[in-house]
Amino acid sequence: MQIYENCSLVNHNTFHIEAVAEKLVRIEQEKDILTVLAFNQSLNILGGGSNILFTKNPAGVVCLNQLKGITILEENNDFVRVEFGSGEVWHDCVLWAIDRGYGGIENLSLIPGTIGAAPLQNIGAYGVELKDVFYSLNAIHRSTLEHHTFSKEQCNFGYRESVFKHALKNQYFITSVTLELSKKPVIRTDYGSILDELKAMHCHEPYSIKQVSDAVIRIRSSKLPDPKDIGNAGSFFKNPVISQEHFNQLKNTFHNMPSYPAPDGVKIPAAWLIEQCGWKGFKEGNYGVHPKQALVLVNYGGSSGEQLYHLSERIIQSVLDKFQITLHREVNVW
């Protein structure tokens, strides 16, 4: 465990927003978090900082999750259950699985952040969600310091949702995540432009999980700015789900409105809604909306979290005024 006083967090968030932690603690072993919790249960947990917008300096202790380790717990001819330390980088875990022929998360390639943060919002992309491969997670209760194991059912996963964003918000520190990966993977190419990209790569059926991963990486790299070059947190907003009745009404006016079926209604691409309101490519000073992807708010250098937050407020209001649809942030605001 390492402790830093008055530590800049500019390199610990992908927006590159300047914020200062009164105390930053690197959590490298489970005993480290137990030690910190014994003295201070009000913590800010920081992983890769890829889904956070700092609008002010965080109060109290900030714990930087560095819990590492990859362990195969169980396997047979069909699947393998793998436990990942919650501080492992998500994309590194994807590549580790692909190298060994374990399928199920190749469509989730290049998603930033740590694997410990993945269950909080049930990360998803290109027709696949974490819940599709999730088996369990281990966590420490911040008040009682007791160890708990959560099954998929107990996590109550939904679209970018879990029990840890609501009923159990800020109550647990996730120490590890176990995924059940397939040794006989089912290739998913039916979402977005994966199939077109595979053809552009001159790949032929049957496609491999490595080819699908490479296609996803190429697509994401072409559409999303690299946080190393331009400060951003990927998709800032969730895709809204509206009722069939509401969709039918909107379709009468907006004939080309794209949509996808959802369990409880119709899912509308937030990027399309934002673009229709004229925000794509918007720039004000040193911040704005990315010119290639309307879902991505960007810090071109030196902007504040407050500026980006207020921009998101303006976008939300304009979409509500035009479509009577309320956008919700995917990014966590600190």
- Tell me the catalytic residues: 160, 235, 330
Beta strand residue intervals within 31-125, DSSP E: 43-46, 52-53, 61-65, 70-75, 79-85, 124-125
Beta strand residue intervals within the chain, DSSP E: 2-8, 20-27, 43-46, 52-53, 61-65, 70-75, 79-85, 124-125, 128-129, 134-141, 147-151, 172-182, 231-232, 241-242, 260-262, 265-267, 283-284, 287-289, 297-299, 332-333
| Burial (CB count within 10 angstroms: exposed 0-12, middle 13-18, buried 19+), residue 289 | buried
Asked if 103 and 211 count as a contact pair (C-beta separation under 8 A), the reply is no
How many Å separate Cα 325 from the centre of its chain?
22
Query: How large is the C-alpha radius of gyration of the chain?
Result: 20
- Beta-carbon contacts of residue 256 (< 8 Å; ≥ 6 apart): none
Asked if 59 and 310 count as a contact pair (C-beta separation under 8 A), the reply is no
